[in-house]
Amino acid sequence: MKARSLVFDLFGDYLRYRGGEVRLRTLTTLMESFDVPEATVRVVATRLRKEGWLEARRDGRETVYALTDQAWKLLDEGRTRIFARATGPWDGQWRMVVYSVPETERALREQLRKRLTWLGFGPLASGVWLSPHDRAGEVRASFADRPAVRIDTFNARSEGLAADRDMAARAWDLATLDKDYAELLRRYEPRLAGYRAGEPTGRRALVERIGLIHDYRLFPFRDPDLPPELLPDGWSGRAAHEMFLQVHGLLRAPAEAYVDEVLT
């Protein structure tokens, strides 16, 4: 786990509910749980401040850090993508985004593709992305101030369910994603009995819980959260998400108790 990711995880799951800020020495103690040395914590905190993710103030001889508004916005959006899943029946419509970006703006094109992926769109063809969810407006809003990006959006229906499933299989690597979900289940399901029995506690509970988030957090970048009718038979993604929520909840009390102990 990268030290900068740990800082965001600690703020997102713990510090935000305990005043939203933390003294450097306290942050250092928490990071020691993950074998991150004090020198590294200081360097990471300084870099995050320079990049606009952290703001700092002095309290006597101590430095106190808090996330900036920009960081909270990013964190909240990420939390929604990690914890939430679409509910209700699919209306059968694909939301399609057709874009063009000048060849001289390759970095901007890559930024657009990453945003599309994050919002659950998949590439059907060059410059043509689709999603079963109504998020085209979010794509437009993200690049409203970038005139070099031309975006057209459409709502469309295919010839039927067979065509829908074929398009889903072409736009996303569902077989590999399902395999990785199954591996996550194999790793964590054997631990459930211990979690239900109240183990681990203290520092180890914090490490386990953040480790779970670390192991799960990249799936929303890859998983478009497709309606059930578009998924392969025996899909592991929903079971993995339910397992994630369960473990995250089981470890909440002991992990928070350790954080409270450090903060006092």
- For 102-123, how does the pLDDT look when each residue is reduced to its tens digit (9 = 90+)? 989 999 999 999 999 989 999 9
Q: What is the pLDDT of residue 86?
A: 83
Q: What is the pLDDT of residue 183?
A: 97
Q: What is the pLDDT of residue 74?
A: 87
Rounded mean pLDDT of 15-31?
94
Q: Is the pLDDT of residue 23 over 90?
A: yes
Two tokens, residue 15: 């510090």
Q: Is the pLDDT of residue 8 over 90?
A: yes
* 94-156 CATH pick, 3.30.70.240, 3.40.50.970, 3.40.50.720, 3.40.50.300: 3.30.70.240
Q: Where does CATH 3.30.70.240 sit in the chain?
A: 94-156
pLDDT tens track for 199-235: 999 999 999 999 999 999 889 889 999 999 999 999 9
The Cα–Cα gap between 43 and 19 comes to: 23
Q: What is the pLDDT of residue 154?
A: 93
CATH fold of 3-73 = Arc Repressor Mutant, subunit A (1.10.10)
The Cα–Cα gap between 164 and 119 comes to: 19
Rounded mean pLDDT of 34-50?
95
Q: What is the pLDDT of residue 225?
A: 93
| Mean pLDDT, all residues of the chain | 93
Sign of CA dihedral 116, 118, 119, 120: positive
The neighbouring-strand residues paired with 58 are 63
The Cα–Cα gap between 137 and 140 comes to: 5
Q: Is the pLDDT of residue 78 over 90?
A: no
Q: Where does CATH 1.10.10.10 sit in the chain?
A: 3-73
Rounded mean pLDDT of 141-159?
93
Q: What is the pLDDT of residue 208?
A: 96
Two tokens, residue 27: 């942050």
CB 41 within 8 Å of CB 27: yes
pLDDT band of residue 24 (cuts 50, 70, 90) is: very high
The answer to whether the pTM exceeds 0.95 is: no
Q: Is the pLDDT of residue 84 over 90?
A: no
